[in-house]
Structure 1
Amino acid sequence: MNGSVSDDPGGPDGLDLLHPTLAYHVVNTLGWQGLRPLQMESLAPLTAGEDGLLLAPTAGGKTEAALFPLLTRTASAPEGLTILYVCPIKALLNNLLPRVQAYAGWLGRTAALWHGDVTTAARQRILRDRPHVLLTTPESIEAMLVSTKVDHRDLFKQVEAVVVDEVHAFAGDDRGWHLLAVLERLTRLRGRPIQRVGLSATVGNPEALLTWLQGSESGAQAGRVIAPGVDLWRPVGEGGEQTPPPPGDVTLDYVGTIPNAAKVIAALHRGEKRLVFCDSRKTVEELGAALRGRGVTTFLSHASLSVDERRRAEQAFSEARDCVIVATSTLELGIDVGDLDRVIQIDAPGAVASFLQRIGRTGRRAGTERNCLFLATGEHGLLRAAALLRLWGRHWVEPVEPTPEPRHIAAQQILALCLQEGEVGEALWPEWWGGLEPFREAKAIAEHLVANGFVETDGGMMLIGPEAEKRFGFRYFRDLTSVFTAPPQFTVLHGRTEVGHIDPALLAFEEGSPGPRRLLLAGRTWGVAWVDWRRQRCHVEPVDGEGGKARWDSGGVLGASFDLTRSIRSVLLGENPPVRLTHRAEEALAKAREAHIDRIHPGGSVIVRDGKGDLKWWTWAGARANLTLVATLGGVVDAKQRVGDAWVRLRADLEPGEWKEAIAEVEGRLALPEAAPRALEGLKFSAALPEELAERTLAMRLSDVSGAQTLLAEPTRFVLG
């Protein structure tokens, strides 16, 4: 049964349900007088073996709420791997390791780390001396399952529980389906259900997230949401009732440019530790360089910096006081960056949930409150920030929705299973996933794999085929363990020291440019000494001055959501977010509202002819809904347009009568967007799918049927101008 825990957690401090040795160390080593409410309420269900979703704000004690009862439950288990602790990013695992080692050590057990940066020697030690707790990633579990150097049946034979930290970060993309599929295979190896415990901050649909985490055991295995004292936000429509905004000191300012943002950050809150979030690596680099140019002690963190570079920055930041660290979402999750004073956001994150994670990094000291300063660098960033804060003020947060129709994950998993087992019965392979959603209609996928040489058959058994070896066999199928295709990047080296990685397009562009080639990486300008194109390496030397350039592939992020874009519309109609607005922000919002005055109407959407003669339907529905509308309306839209969040370009000669007929004709019959052949390249393992299934999978991810239906049901004002 799903729901909020109401069981008696034991004594007044909850310690009587813990293993006595754990309880002793909680009091005498940690110095706690008792457990927090979440930790108390998780004890009874988790020690009893129930699944759970534990919700608490950042730094709310979720790790202990999961591990203390699981260590208690498995204290008498034989030596060997018993608990898996899975995180979405390696840095979070690195950060957690000392704490988990201490907790396991109190019971005479060990904890270890296994991910892509862990050395071969360290992995061999783990295989020799099995830890009680293993901190890892889904990709590393997959690699262990398919490796010929790991006896996976022996390694995982006594796993009792898996903790999935930051579970919302998995559930919202394909890594979540991959994780669930791997857990189903572990369950099959184990021969009985493995307890699943998810940890998360505020989410909009906790019960659905728990059901998703339970996978094929949902309904058969007991589970509950545990969130004592947490305000469980819900996704609500525009008609949701107004409530007092959440606590926190939030300010929205308009600065216009990145250099101006650096000027403001350098002048404000001197003597304090400030964490600045940017939503692109390029912006991190540009802002970091601008801050250093103003004499501010600045550190950088993003995914294209080397591991050593990131660790040095994060360690220095955690130990310093008057300094700034500029980061992408790599520091959004629970990595400890020390005693933080301020969070600053450049423009806006893509989701309210991300903002909740970021503001939750502040206000942890007694007598302080959570705070965030938004610095908008343009109209687009200002409107998105205002819209997001408006939703936040209404206690709205996005539901975590698994990616639809993950057929390519089914293809990847069938291939991985053939590697894991050597050979799999043609009629028995579906049993490994127990009816998990991606595998419910996967027979056609398996047949395609056989027909196209990805899988061979021999005497009723399936084996890995030559086409799979050709496409995914590099370094013993390393490419098969990850469900994302990483864009190619060149390694940047200063001497023998790795600085990070850059987009090769930057080098290609610079190759023919006059003067010395300069890169911007780790907040410093580097001169390109030479490029090893064959080995994909770029050798650099530090240079004085500016002029370095930063560039990375954007990853194909497709616009804002329907709800966020609709909230922008509400802001343009005059609704302010319930935060402090600077005079500059008020002026910039007034200008934006004046500029868009003919493009919005409170009673529905507007079709307007602009100064260039283009006829635009101002939907304010988000890119996915707009793509769905373009696919549905066919002949009345401009088929060659690049679709964005706010509008759809209609045929220039369209008349109001024809428009009404077109709307009436498509009522209740929406079409999915057409996936471009090149777009399929970004869907890893699409080559292992029948073409029509690959196209439909991508089309589902490009669409927003609900948003499109909302638009088609609303009145539309046709203004020829």
Structure 2
Amino acid sequence: MSQNAFERYAPFIQEYIYQKNWTDLREVQVEACNEILDTDDHVIIASGTASGKTEAAFFPILTTLYNQPSNSVGVMYIGPLKALINDQFERLSELLEESYIPVWPWHGDISQSIKKRALKEAKGILQITPESLEALLMRHPGDAKRLFSDLRFVVIDEIHAFMGTDRGLQVLCLLSRLEKITDCYPRRIGLSATLNDYEPAQHFLASGTRRGVKVVGIKRHARTISLCVESFQLPKEPLKAENIVKEYNEFLYQNSHKKKCLIFTNSRGGAEKVITDLKNIAYARQETDVFFVHHGSISAALRREAETALRDAEGATVTAATLTLELGIDIGDLDSTIQIGAPYSCSSFVQRLGRSGRRTGKSQMLFVNIFEESDKNLFERLPWELLRAIAIIQLYLEERWVEPFYMKEKPFSLVAHQTLSVLMSYGELSPPELARNVLLLPAFRNSISQDEYREILQYMLENDYLQKVENGGIIVGIKGERIVNHYSFYAVFQDEQVFHVHSQEGEIGTLDNCPAIGEAFVLAGNMWRVLELDENRKIIYVRSIKNSRIPIWNGSGGHIHTKVVHRIRRILTENVRYSYLSPNASEVLEEARKTAKNSGMLENNVIPYSANSFYLCPWVGSKEMKTIKRLLSYGLKDFLQIYSVSGGSHYLQITSGLSVVEVVNKLHELSVDCDNDNMVLTEKQAPKIDKYDGMVPDNLLRKAFLHNELNVESAVKILREL
């Protein structure tokens, strides 16, 4: 046992460690103990899944509270998911049994009676989501002041899930507003398993404060990794293709049905389909149905059922999930994870890999890819998902690299949201007071100018989101009240229009689109037919049936970083055999290398296929590719005499009035004003991307699209160098 750290812990923590029969503390726990107890800095605890991060943070934090009790809630834990808060509540409740330090969960599913008790006692640990904290500060600032008047620590779990998102900026706004209300400046502790570049995380955690940030847990802990990539090639002939699909499903079944196994897919429809196929095999073989589905459109009760089965059930349990099970909910010790296709990012891969081997230290992941043969064009003949899987694996094995995070340059939607929220807290503010309360928030201090904010306020006043009273003060207007009075206001991520699906047993989940009466579909791994619709309440009543289709949910694919695409290109050029590839996958890769080499796409970004038409493959990520496509479709259309631009994620198909050589020569001399939104948008376009863009004037929406969604400077550089 690491005596120095152990001896510093409060007696109830020492007793807890004895009861758990621990013989030693993890290195990260010792490091965190020293930084939290001996400094006044913020601390990032960056360590792998199941490495003891939660204990590393809470053992010294709770020791501090035990030795110097707080006069209010002493610790606020912010979690990205209600399920994660519920999971941590159970873990902390066991730890705190003998401490007399209470722990309170606080989110939308928690009863008012528990919240009233938490308000009355105002002690211990409060576990909360950003949305519930928003509601508390907005509706009950007096309660927030009393609850947190002596707040010592803010713990932000899964900090990487917040960084680079509006929700993360919202958290920074809320912490800054809380400090102003309470005149209390707690230390911040960030937890993550997937950080690689610590500087952005340090900057994020310290935003709006004057404390430094220490990072602990940087050293890599020994972990055995077992990887395998299998690929199935789907021929064009229907009968042969049907046999390969059957072989693919049998392979998945054999590798999962006798295990504690988590199958990751990149879409909700993909999760439903794989479980439906596996259930059908089990039914045909008269074997036990051990299959569950877990994604954002499944009801909370059914998601909990899947989590409980993985964690507690004896024997095999197989659950197909999207990113909902990426984060650190305790689902026990899995035998393996399976990834259908490839994740979009290294960050996702690291999270998903860490879900298995939590207790044994051996993580296993099987990638299974199905590649459909195509004679459409040379780019469509490449197995992009297989290539992305290899690229992501190699970047992790070679560099432990994960994608960096970027703060949004022009978060206008969030400015409008926080304007309404701040006004609801104060009731009324003069224009200068309102500007100070909003523009000085850390999310906006260096990104939104006074002139831009003045434009937003003017627009919100003109459209009744805000209202000016006789003395010149500003209050929430009629349209603004309708927005803030809806429960969805507290969340800054985009809502989907949903229809709730109910059977006799209760709610099953939600659909984006309303099916017709009599229509059939799959949800939560089971098949249903629509019996009745209540369109006003958006409820679909169903009964169970045998066969039906998989529904399609809205939602775009993930973003792919340029470094991943560069690694794909290198995979196609290097003569390396990767030990984790199956013979089938190796064969598909070798065929792809031949196709790429013979086509010339590895040496040339521009490949002509007629006098005035060519393919453009710049080998860049999705953000840069999206920007290039928009530049060629709008700002450069006349300059290059372009008739059409089409294509996929990795290439564009372009037809021009100029020869290919003339196009490339003109691009070499390209000069573009990177701040001119007319280069990427038509005159009338003002894309509404973020949730509260409706409260932002069109000219600022265009600016937001240019700076948040695209990278014109990088795209122009790429085009010049073709």
TM bin (shorter chain): 0.7 to 0.9
Q: Which residue in 2 is equivalent to 1:450?
A: 461
CA drift of 1:259 comes to 5.3
1:349 paired with 2:343, answer yes
Of residues 423, 444, 469 in structure 1, which corresponds to 2:428?
423
Q: Which residue in 2 is equivalent to 1:340?
A: 334
Of residues 378, 381, 398 in structure 1, which corresponds to 2:403?
398
SS of corresponding position for 1:253: strand
Structure 1, residues 3-59: CA drift from partner, whole Å, max 9, x if none?
xxxxxxx96451122223323332x23322342111111123223432011100001
SS of corresponding position for 1:591: helix
CA drift of 1:638 comes to 4.4
CA drift of 1:166 comes to 0.5
Q: Which residue in 2 is equivalent to 1:289?
A: 276
SS of corresponding position for 1:101: helix
Q: Is the 8 A contact 2:606 2:614 kept in 1?
A: no
SS of corresponding position for 1:581: coil
CA–CA distance in structure 2, aligned partners of residues 576 and 301 of structure 1: 37
SS of corresponding position for 2:50: coil
CA–CA distance in structure 1, aligned partners of residues 166 and 80 of structure 2: 12
CA drift of 1:265 comes to 2.0
Q: Which residue in 2 is equivalent to 1:277?
A: 264
Per the alignment, do residues 186 and 560 of structure 1 end up closer, same or farther by CA in structure 2, a change over 3 Å counting?
A: same
SS of corresponding position for 2:73: coil
CA drift of 1:706 comes to 6.0
- Structure 1 residue identity aligned to 2:278: L
Q: Which residue in 2 is equivalent to 1:20?
A: 11
Q: Is the 8 A contact 2:194 2:347 kept in 1?
A: yes
Which has the larger displacement, 176-185 or 12-21?
Answer: 12-21
Q: Is the 8 A contact 1:573 1:601 kept in 2?
A: no
Structure 1, residues 300-319: CA drift from partner, whole Å, max 9, x if none?
11110000011111112222
Q: Which residue in 1 is equivalent to 2:548?
A: 547
Q: Which residue in 2 is equivalent to 1:188?
A: 180
Q: Is the 8 A contact 1:168 1:203 kept in 2?
A: yes
Q: Which residue in 2 is equivalent to 1:621?
A: 620
Of residues 128, 131, 135 in structure 2, which corresponds to 1:136?
128
CA drift of 1:561 comes to 2.4
SS of corresponding position for 1:310: helix
Per the alignment, do residues 336 and 148 of structure 1 end up closer, same or farther by CA in structure 2, a change over 3 Å counting?
A: closer
CA drift of 1:269 comes to 5.7
CA–CA distance in structure 2, aligned partners of residues 641 and 601 of structure 1: 19
Kindly report the root-mean-square deviation, in angstroms, between the aligned alpha carbons of the 2 structures: 2.7
Q: Is the 8 A contact 2:290 2:317 kept in 1?
A: yes
Q: Which residue in 2 is equivalent to 1:250?
A: 227
Q: Which residue in 1 is equivalent to 2:415?
A: 410
1:325 paired with 2:319, answer yes
Q: Which residue in 2 is equivalent to 1:204?
A: 196
CA drift of 1:542 comes to 0.7
- Structure 2 residue identity aligned to 1:621: V
Q: Which residue in 2 is equivalent to 1:385?
A: 389
CA drift of 1:705 comes to 4.0
Structure 1, residues 287-337: CA drift from partner, whole Å, max 9, x if none?
011111111521111110000011111112222322311111111111111
- Following TM superposition, where does structure 1 have runs of at least 4 consecutive aligned residues deviating by more than 6 angstroms? 676-679
- Structure 2 residue identity aligned to 1:22: I
Per the alignment, do residues 610 and 577 of structure 1 end up closer, same or farther by CA in structure 2, a change over 3 Å counting?
A: farther
- Structure 2 residue identity aligned to 1:588: V
CA drift of 1:606 comes to 2.6
Q: Which residue in 2 is equivalent to 1:468?
A: 480
SS of corresponding position for 2:560: coil
Q: Which residue in 2 is equivalent to 1:117?
A: 109
CA drift of 1:389 comes to 1.8
Per the alignment, do residues 427 and 157 of structure 1 end up closer, same or farther by CA in structure 2, a change over 3 Å counting?
A: same
Structure 1, residues 227-282: CA drift from partner, whole Å, max 9, x if none?
25238xxxxxxxxxxxxx99511111113577544311211365321111111000
Of residues 164, 167, 180 in structure 2, which corresponds to 1:175?
167
Per the alignment, do residues 62 and 11 of structure 1 end up closer, same or farther by CA in structure 2, a change over 3 Å counting?
A: closer
SS of corresponding position for 1:428: helix
CA–CA distance in structure 2, aligned partners of residues 553 and 679 of structure 1: 21
Q: Is the 8 A contact 1:628 1:708 kept in 2?
A: yes
CA drift of 1:143 comes to 0.8
Structure 1, residues 447-466: CA drift from partner, whole Å, max 9, x if none?
33334432223435332122
- Structure 2 residue identity aligned to 1:571: I
Per the alignment, do residues 445 and 228 of structure 1 end up closer, same or farther by CA in structure 2, a change over 3 Å counting?
A: closer
1:698 paired with 2:705, answer yes
Which has the larger displacement, 135-144 or 295-304?
Answer: 295-304
CA drift of 1:387 comes to 2.2
The size of the alignment, in residue pairs, is 676
Q: Is the 8 A contact 2:339 2:365 kept in 1?
A: yes
Q: Which residue in 1 is equivalent to 2:59?
A: 68
Q: Which residue in 2 is equivalent to 1:238?
A: none
1:497 paired with 2:517, answer no
Q: Is the 8 A contact 2:44 2:190 kept in 1?
A: yes
- Structure 2 residue identity aligned to 1:187: E
CA–CA distance in structure 1, aligned partners of residues 25 and 181 of structure 2: 35
Q: Which residue in 2 is equivalent to 1:659?
A: 663
Which has the larger displacement, 532-541 or 42-51?
Answer: 42-51
- Structure 1 residue identity aligned to 2:621: G
TM-score w.r.t. length of structure 1: 0.87
For residues 37-48 of structure 1, what are the structure 2 equivalents within 5 Å?
A: 37-47=27-37, 48=39
1:605 paired with 2:605, answer yes
Q: Is the 8 A contact 1:163 1:199 kept in 2?
A: yes
Of residues 13, 22, 46 in structure 2, which corresponds to 1:55?
46
- Structure 2 residue identity aligned to 1:547: S
CA drift of 1:666 comes to 1.9
Of residues 364, 381, 387 in structure 2, which corresponds to 1:371?
364
- Structure 2 residue identity aligned to 1:688: M
Q: Is the 8 A contact 2:495 2:691 kept in 1?
A: no
1:97 paired with 2:103, answer no
Q: Is the 8 A contact 1:390 1:577 kept in 2?
A: no
Q: Which residue in 1 is equivalent to 2:588?
A: 588
1:263 paired with 2:250, answer yes
Q: Which residue in 1 is equivalent to 2:494?
A: 485
For residues 635-646 of structure 1, what are the structure 2 equivalents within 5 Å?
A: 635=637, 636=640, 638=642, 641-642=645-646, 644-646=648-650
Structure 1, residues 83-106: CA drift from partner, whole Å, max 9, x if none?
111111111111111111233333
CA drift of 1:492 comes to 0.4
CA–CA distance in structure 2, aligned partners of residues 304 and 359 of structure 1: 23
Q: Is the 8 A contact 1:630 1:639 kept in 2?
A: no
Q: Which residue in 1 is equivalent to 2:297?
A: 304
TM-score w.r.t. length of structure 2: 0.87
CA–CA distance in structure 1, aligned partners of residues 571 and 686 of structure 2: 33
Q: Percent identity?
A: 26
- Structure 1 residue identity aligned to 2:167: R
CA–CA distance in structure 1, aligned partners of residues 550 and 2 of structure 2: 60
CA drift of 1:710 comes to 5.2
1:674 paired with 2:680, answer yes
Per the alignment, do residues 504 and 81 of structure 1 end up closer, same or farther by CA in structure 2, a change over 3 Å counting?
A: same
- Structure 2 residue identity aligned to 1:687: G
Q: Which residue in 2 is equivalent to 1:157?
A: 149
Q: Is the 8 A contact 2:291 2:319 kept in 1?
A: yes
Structure 1, residues 195-223: CA drift from partner, whole Å, max 9, x if none?
11110113232122111111111xx2122
CA drift of 1:126 comes to 2.5
CA drift of 1:132 comes to 1.1
Of residues 207, 211, 214 in structure 2, which corresponds to 1:224?
214
Q: Which residue in 1 is equivalent to 2:564?
A: 564
CA–CA distance in structure 2, aligned partners of residues 359 and 610 of structure 1: 45
Per the alignment, do residues 259 and 413 of structure 1 end up closer, same or farther by CA in structure 2, a change over 3 Å counting?
A: farther
- Structure 1 residue identity aligned to 2:453: I
- Structure 2 residue identity aligned to 1:552: W
SS of corresponding position for 1:650: strand
SS of corresponding position for 1:392: helix
Per the alignment, do residues 598 and 430 of structure 1 end up closer, same or farther by CA in structure 2, a change over 3 Å counting?
A: farther
CA–CA distance in structure 2, aligned partners of residues 110 and 686 of structure 1: 41
Q: Is the 8 A contact 1:246 1:393 kept in 2?
A: no
SS of corresponding position for 1:394: helix
